[in-house]
Structure 1
């Protein structure tokens, strides 16, 4: 069974209501054009002026406005919906950056907490300390979909190929993100295509893409990449969505013609 895959790009604000309204419009547009699986970007529901602002909106696992909204959207449009990242409460007072997956009936199928946190000082003076407000996740997560297994990750995880090797054999990899303009222009497409090529999987990458209220610039370039590393669809900047078809026969042909996953040596199987 093949699928129509869609990624949504946003320029999220500090207004939860405005962000959910914008996201709902974009989901509806993609679903009306036949999208079976829709991916939202990291922080789709809220991007505050300060990293810690999200703590005021964090929800308990299994209840809250954002989680209920995600379930309702998936059910309303009859599509699988991958909820980028939302803040769920952590035991230490911080939050987890959590990606939730809902099926076409609105039932939650998976939860992934972002493992790698973006604590960096960039060359242009930008500084980020996600660990001030976010607690790191511990466990890779993949979920069975009607189109094969799907491996979950968020943004900075993209730079750690060992995570994706844990998903070896998965047909789909998702990367909801909020890449900075600087790092995105240098590395975004290269890293995404590498993850697709080395794992011979479809990669869906939904990014934030524009200038936010705190002055932060996100890169955009949301895209869908096939198992051969070809970019099938891309949106450069601004809110919107793109869609591409998943061809499972093509995926299997790539893996048969170039069986790299079978050629891995035993010494590296634990990676």
Structure 2
């Protein structure tokens, strides 16, 4: 199964970002992909909360989602829309949306773990000031098999991936906008570990480069196979990449190294 992976340098204008994604849907379909994966905050990346507020609306009013759903229908392609900022009550949700080839929203996942950190280089982030965390583990059937949904900082929390492994997910989506310091230190090793632990493919579409709001993201969108081998590394340039997933590899690895079957509950 061929997939497309979109590496973006999303900006502060949702209309521009929506056009980039719609173009990628067309290009991915033309390239033989059955599904396109996009990064975290595909529709808007803006650290200026006041400026961003007017662009963050309830899901049903989001123009990026509307345009991507239309593109999915037009090109007959599934889209794992990494995440959008959507209004959810008195706060926002960092929401990943799975869109099928008929334009329906097949699944939704709200990022569980909020990025509240002070980095050694001086960067400070408080995602919980504006966003509320999700509280549900979400999986969905796709042309690639059972997809487990996560977003970015979730990557650092093994319990979520343990739950997805116990669900026997075939593919884990990890859309992200990793900072450069944390990305260069931990991105590759964590993604490879999660693939090995779950004996599953990991698809991590990422933001990259210097953005309009002044932040810099790490890039290196990855596709990792169930053995931990990297099938695709998109380095630091925006664009569309392709990877071919041999789904038979999942069962092969699980036979060779049946760690999922050998798991035992840990008393606490």
TM-score class, shorter-chain normalisation, is over 0.9
Deviations 1:77-108 (A, max 9, x none): 211101111122222x2110000101111111
Distance (Å, rounded) in 1 between the aligned partners of 2:212 and 2:144: 38
1:258 aligned to 2:253? no
Distance (Å, rounded) in 2 between the aligned partners of 1:162 and 1:223: 22
Alignment partner of 1:111: what SS?
A: strand
Match of 1:138 in 2: 135
User: In the alignment, is the contact (CA less than 8 A) between 1:181 and 1:219 conserved in 2?
Assistant: yes
Match of 1:84 in 2: 82
1:101 aligned to 2:98? yes
Alignment partner of 2:164: what SS?
A: coil
Shift of 1:41: 0.5
Shift of 1:165: 1.1
Unaligned segments of structure 2, at least 5 residues: none
RMSD: 1.5
Per the alignment, do residues 233 and 260 of structure 1 end up closer, same or farther by CA in structure 2, a change over 3 Å counting?
A: same
Structure 1 counterpart of 2:3, from 1, 5, 21: 5
Instruction: Name the count of aligned residue pairs.
Output: 266
Shift of 1:51: 4.5
Scaled by the length of structure 2, the TM-score of the pair is 0.95
Deviations 1:184-217 (A, max 9, x none): 0000011100100010000000110100122211
Alignment partner of 2:249: what SS?
A: helix
Deviations 1:49-100 (A, max 9, x none): 4246443222323343122112112111211101111122222x21100001
User: In the alignment, is the contact (CA less than 8 A) between 2:22 and 2:67 conserved in 1?
Assistant: no
Scaled by the length of structure 1, the TM-score of the pair is 0.94
Match of 2:217 in 1: 218
